[in-house]
């Protein structure tokens, strides 16, 4: 692990402690149980209110985690069983339906009649892609997922045209997209400015981005041991910080909402456009 001594967004060193974690984190166990002997902290920047953890995982530790965290031995669920469980939720219970229906409400209704190319960055097993294809059957869907086990699951079960078992970067596909979605990914990303720049350059002109990340609202409402605060998550974005990152990347017409799921967790849900 590596110490983070200043705000990753504004570089200010002044901060206040939000949460102490000195319990066993099961994600640390996948890398090295010795990591749990280190006390972990969540801090809020005194200048911009960005929330970040210290220490955080190194790049090598992250690679080990992402290789293992989908394993059946860890999840106690086979990939196909996971896919079946999630996709069998009815629309009132489905978080993925909530995401897709919210997106449709925010975009021009003409999108429903077009063959849009849709990319899911960090698609996991393809359950969100499956719901997108169900609600928008004319869409042509693609995905990127670094865990090969779940990339293969998404390729076989989601209805997507192509899934790449890789980390996302600009130019990974030989064409651009009308819609890019990325849910519960940016809190894992070390360089959000580069991530959003790559997304921007991967969108067609007039294309749109749908993002979802854990909300700072979760602090004070959930126990410190809740999975949303697990070691794989490096940061919690505020609306202002997200808006600035997106603006810097070139996005316009940015809309950010704080929403609560039936599970009790809070997410920031974002839609932004490429001019």
Query: What is the pLDDT, as a whole number, of residue 105?
Result: 85
pLDDT value, residue 108: 65
How many whole angstroms separate alpha carbon 145 and alpha carbon 124?
6
Q: How far apart are CA 221 and CA 202, in angstroms?
A: 37
Collapsing DSSP to helix, strand or coil, 151 comes out as: helix
Q: Break the chain down into helix, strand, coil percent, rounded to 5.
A: 35, 25, 35
- Helix ranges (H only) for the chain are 26-31, 59-68, 72-75, 79-87, 95-106, 127-135, 148-157, 192-202, 239-249
pLDDT value of residue 66:
85
pLDDT on residue 140: 94
Taking CA atoms, 22 is separated from 28, 36, 231, 235, in Å, by 12, 7, 11, 18
User: Sign (positive/negative) of CA torsion 136, 139, 140, 144?
Assistant: negative
| pTM (predicted TM-score) | 0.92
Torsion sign across C-alpha atoms 26, 64, 213, 118: negative
Burial of 4 (0-12, 13-18, 19+ CB in 10 A): middle
The per-residue pLDDT for 110 is: 58
User: What is the distance between the alpha carbons of residues 262 and 222, in angstroms, rounded to a whole number?
Assistant: 14
**pLDDT (tens digit per residue) in 132-189:** 999 888 899 999 999 898 999 999 999 999 999 999 999 999 999 999 999 999 999 9
Q: What is the DSSP string of 175-212?
A: S-EEEEEEES-GGG-S-HHHHHHHHHHHEEEEEEEEEE
Which residue ranges of the chain lie beneath pLDDT 70? 73, 108-115
> CATH homologous superfamily of domain 78-273?
Vaccinia Virus protein VP39 (3.40.50.150)
Q: What is the pLDDT of residue 109?
A: 58
């Amino acid at each position: 692990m590596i110490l983070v001594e200043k705000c990753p967004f504004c570089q200010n060193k002044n901060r206040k402690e939000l949460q102490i974690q000195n319990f066993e984190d099961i994600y640390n166990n996948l890398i090295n149980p010795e990591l749990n002997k280190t006390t972990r902290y969540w801090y809020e920047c005194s200048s911009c209110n960005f929330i970040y953890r210290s220490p955080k995982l190194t790049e090598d530790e992250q690679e080990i985690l992402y290789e293992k965290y989908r394993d059946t031995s860890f999840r106690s669920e086979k990939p196909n069983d996971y896919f079946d469980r999630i996709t069998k939720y009815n629309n009132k219970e489905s978080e993925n339906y909530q995401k897709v229906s919210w997106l449709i409400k925010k975009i021009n209704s003409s999108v429903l009649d077009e063959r849009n190319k849709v990319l899911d960055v960090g698609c996991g097993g393809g359950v969100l892609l499956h719901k997108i294809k169900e609600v928008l059957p004319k869409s042509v869907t693609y995905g990127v997922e670094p865990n090969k086990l779940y990339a293969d699951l998404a390729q076989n079960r989601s209805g997507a045209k192509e899934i790449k078992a890789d980390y996302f970067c600009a130019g990974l596909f030989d064409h651009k997209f009308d819609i890019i979605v990325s849910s519960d990914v940016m809190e894992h990303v070390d360089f959000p400015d580069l991530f959003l720049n790559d997304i921007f350059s991967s969108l067609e002109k007039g294309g749109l981005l749908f993002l979802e990340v854990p909300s700072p609202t979760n602090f004070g409402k959930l126990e410190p041991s809740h999975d949303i605060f697990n070691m794989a998550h490096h940061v919690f974005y505020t609306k202002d910080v997200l808006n600035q990152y997106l603006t810097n990347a070139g996005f316009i017409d940015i809309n950010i909402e704080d929403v609560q799921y039936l599970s009790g967790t809070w997410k920031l849900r974002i839609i932004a456009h490429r001019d």
